[in-house]
Amino acid sequence: MQHYVATRPMFIDVEVMNSDNKLVLGDQSSQASPNYVARGLSKLYKEITDTVRKEAATIMAVFPSPNDVMSILVQRVLEQRVTSLLDKLLEKPSIAHPRPLGEGGILLYLRMLAVAYEKTQELARDLRAVGCGDLDVEGLTESLFSAHKDEYPEYEQASLRQLYQAKLEELRAESQKVSEPSGTIGRSKGASVASSPLEISVAAVTEFVRWNEEAITRCTLFSSL
């Protein structure tokens, strides 16, 4: 049984793995967006489910203990094919020295994590429907993300700090431009404006709320078991 599963083309064909990466990550020279990754994962996971379904037909006809073989097959799919892709997709950023917001910041990692988690959960449900013997496919799927979920709260907080700090710096810069001093009187007036509390627009507050709502949605996703 082990030998049969290990020799399936999707586990030994390098072209299959390269195709997986290209479908989900796109051109390696540019950063794929979460929406692009979501579409790619949907397509890839459908292909995987279809392949497992075809293998199931053969397994049911050939092996005396088909459920045992299906359990091994699905476990191999998750631990090898899916894990290989997730390792490339979910590279943890540095909290101390995060990438600039212009390059996605910590938020990009969190959005990728949420997309990958949701889509992989859907894959687990589809594989369960096809058949996977006694394998705890949901539990195994959950374990693929345990290292990310353990540190998730820290990354979410760091992301919000990065977003808030960047927005406040932007507002301060805009405030200084508006109150640009000219001459002695202007300098006195400018100093007064600079020392006054920073006014935050409704648009900025709305943006703060939107960031928090998105964070809460992720918190709910990762805590729903």
Which tokens sit at 53?
Answer: 């379904």
Say what the pLDDT of residue 180 is: 62
Domain span at residue 164? 2-223
Say what the pLDDT of residue 102 is: 86
Q: Could you give the CA distance from residue 61 to residue 20 in angstroms, rounded to a whole number?
A: 29
Torsion sign (Cα): 144, 31, 21, 131: positive
Say what the pLDDT of residue 192 is: 45
* 212 φ/ψ angles, rounded to the nearest 5 degrees: -65, -40
Local structure of residue 97 (DSSP, 8 states):
S
Q: Could you give the CA distance from residue 124 to residue 42 in angstroms, rounded to a whole number?
A: 12
Name the domain count of the chain: 1
* 214 φ/ψ angles, rounded to the nearest 5 degrees: -65, -40
pTM of this prediction? Answer: 0.85
| 204, 171 contact by CB (below 8 A) | yes
Q: Could you give the CA distance from residue 175 to residue 139 in angstroms, rounded to a whole number?
A: 52
Alpha helices in 179-201 (DSSP H): 183-195
Number of H helices, E strands in the chain: 11, 0
The CA angle 141-57-17, to the nearest 5 degrees, is 50
Widest CA span of the chain, in angstroms?
Answer: 93
Which tokens sit at 70?
Answer: 């299906």
pLDDT along the chain (225 residues), means of 10: 82 84 80 92 97 94 92 95 94 92 93 98 96 94 96 96 90 75 49 56 82 95 79
Local structure of residue 65 (DSSP, 8 states):
S
